[in-house]
Amino acid sequence: MKREKPIRILIADDHYIVRIGLVALVNTEPDMEVIAEAADGAQAVEFFGQFQPDLVLMDSRMPMKNGVEAVREIRKKNPAARVLMLTAYDGDHDITRALAAGAQGYVLKNSTGDKLIPAIRAVAAGQKWLPQEVAGRLASRKSFEQLTPREIQVLNEMAKGLANKEIADALKITEYTAKDHLKSIMAKLRVADRTEAVTVAIQRGIIQL
């Protein structure tokens, strides 16, 4: 059934140039209309309540409140809210967190307009939208053993350049336990050293700098 009114869209992105480009792209479509722009996650939540858009086009990493937290809050207030993530981050953890928070679609910023516009229409119509490259990332996740919350804490400290004893002190564990966690992390991430562990963890979205 053809929609009579245009899809009312809230765009949330902290980069002004990106936001302006998205507004211009979306407003060229006769069945779409940008009704509000948010520069951070907190503003996205506020403007959602104020304008009640049909769809939120949400960046994942923004100041004040990140996109995933904003999605969670929006969906808690309105379980019927439709959210499409538009982000530069394609790590399997990034994608999983966004979908778990309640986003119904996930599109990468390197996508062209002819890929984004159908995604907006689909999610606004109540469908899920995961492009092939995103679905592929999620599929690859299943082949990895998942890290524990404590192991992620160790990784975060390791990313700061801390040695084992410093990590142990920071997390109030023994140095032996810290080494044990490090060994497990490297096995699960399938890496050979600490630097590679941090690099892979950042790429997959397990930790953020």
Residue 165 domain boundaries? 149-204
Q: Is residue 1 one of the residues assigned to a domain?
A: no
DSSP assignment letter at 89: -
- Domain containing 116 — which CATH number? 3.40.50.2300
The mean pLDDT value for 16-25 works out to 94
Averaged pLDDT score across all residues of the chain: 92
Q: Are strands 55-58 and 83-87 parallel, antiparallel or unpaired?
A: parallel
Q: Which band of pLDDT confidence, cut at 50, 70 and 90, is reported for residue 165?
A: very high
How many structural domains comprise the chain?
A: 2
- Asked if residue 118 and residue 30 are part of one domain, the reply reads yes
Q: Assess whether pLDDT exceeds 70 at residue 3.
A: no
* Burial grade of 162 (CB within 10 A; 0-12, 13-18, 19 or more): middle
pLDDT by residue (tens digit) across 110-136? Answer: 887 788 999 999 999 999 999 988 988
- Asked if residue 86 and residue 16 are part of one domain, the reply reads yes
Q: Give pTM, 2 decimals.
A: 0.81
pLDDT by residue (tens digit) across 49-92? Answer: 999 999 999 999 888 899 999 999 999 999 999 999 999 888 89
Q: Is residue 43 one of the residues assigned to a domain?
A: yes
- Asked if residue 170 and residue 115 are part of one domain, the reply reads no
Distance between CA 67 and CA 57 in Å, rounded? 10
Q: Assess whether pLDDT exceeds 50 at residue 1.
A: no
